[in-house]
Each structure stands twice: as structure tokens, then as C-alpha cells.
């Protein structure tokens, strides 16, 4: 399945809330799901996630939504840039 063959679907506020909640639980974050701003960076100065977190979150997301993240897909750099972009990616690619 090629990424570029799927039309991008925007995520709903409900899906973003659910993804934020999964991240908070998976990583024991200090914030609550509704404190994660949809457009703030997840890496670095934003939520402060690093590569270990990304691997853990990807595993939880793969189980919940039936998708496998791959670092060679063209939009990989973009996927974890914010909660909104992550949730948009899930909305487009989920199979569960």
C-alpha cells in the first residue's frame, strides 16, 4: 500500500483526544490529554518526546489502529511533528 495513493483524511477532535490519551498513558506524561495542544511540536521543546518515546507510542498506535509506521515513508518527518499531523496520519491509514 503506497502512502501517496491514499487521499489525506483530516482527523477529528475525538481522534486527536484519543491519540493524546494513548500517549499520556503509554509514556506516563505529566500532562493530561487535553493539555496537549494539537499544533505544538511533540519532539524537542514542545512535549519533549525523544526517539525512545516515539518507538513506544508507535507500538501502542499499531495495536490500536492496525497500522505500521515506517521511517522511509515520505511524510515520516512530518508525522510526529504535532498531535494533529499524527492523528491525520492515523485517520488516513488506520485499518481498525
Partner 1 sequence: MPSLPLVSHNSPDSIIAWRADGAVTLQQFLSEVSQLAALFPAGRHLLNMCSDRYRFSVGLAAAIVAGKISLLPSTYAPEVVRQIKTFAPDVFCLTDSDLCTVDLPRLRYPVMNDGPQDELAIPQIKATQHIAVVFTSGSTGTPQPHPKTWGALVGSVQAEAQRLGLGLLHNCTLIGTVPPQHMYGFESTVLMAWHSGCALNHAQPFYPADICRALAAVPAPRVLVSSPLHLRTLLAAGLLLPEITQVVSATAPLSAQLAQEIETRCNTQLIEIYGSTETGQIATRHPTQSCAWQLFPGIKLAIEGDCVRACGGHIETPIAMSDTIEPVTDKLFLLHGRIADLVNIGGKRHSLASLDHLLNNIPGVADGAFYMPDETSADHVTRLAACVVAPGMDASNLLAALREHIDPVFLPRPLLLVDALPRNSTGKLPRAALQALFQTCT
Binding stretches for partner 1 (CB under 8 A): 29-30, 44-45, 48, 50-52, 55-56, 58-59, 62, 68-72
Between 13 and 71, whose beta carbon lies closer to partner 1?
Answer: 71
* Contact residues for 3 (Cβ-Cβ < 8 A; gap 6+): 73, 74, 75, 93
Q: Where are the beta strands (DSSP E) in 1-96?
A: none
Which of 90, 87, 45, 86 is CA-nearest to residue 65? 90
Between 61 and 87, whose beta carbon lies closer to partner 1?
Answer: 61
Nearest-approach distance from CB 16 to partner 1, in angstroms: 22
Nearest-approach distance from CB 12 to partner 1, in angstroms: 25
Amino acid at each position: 500500500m503506497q502512502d501517496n495513493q491514499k487521499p489525506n483524511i483530516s482527523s477529528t477532535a475525538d481522534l486527536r483526544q484519543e491519540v493524546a490519551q494513548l500517549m499520556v498513558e503509554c509514556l506516563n506524561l505529566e500532562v493530561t490529554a487535553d493539555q496537549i495542544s494539537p499544533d505544538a511540536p511533540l519532539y524537542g521543546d514542545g512535549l519533549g518526546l525523544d526517539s525512545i518515546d516515539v518507538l513506544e507510542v508507535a507500538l501502542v498506535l499499531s495495536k490500536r489502529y492496525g497500522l505500521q509506521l515506517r521511517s522511509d515513508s515520505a511524510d515520516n518527518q512530518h508525522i510526529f511533528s504535532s498531535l494533529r499531523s499524527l492523528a491525520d496520519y492515523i485517520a488516513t491509514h488506520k485499518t481498525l
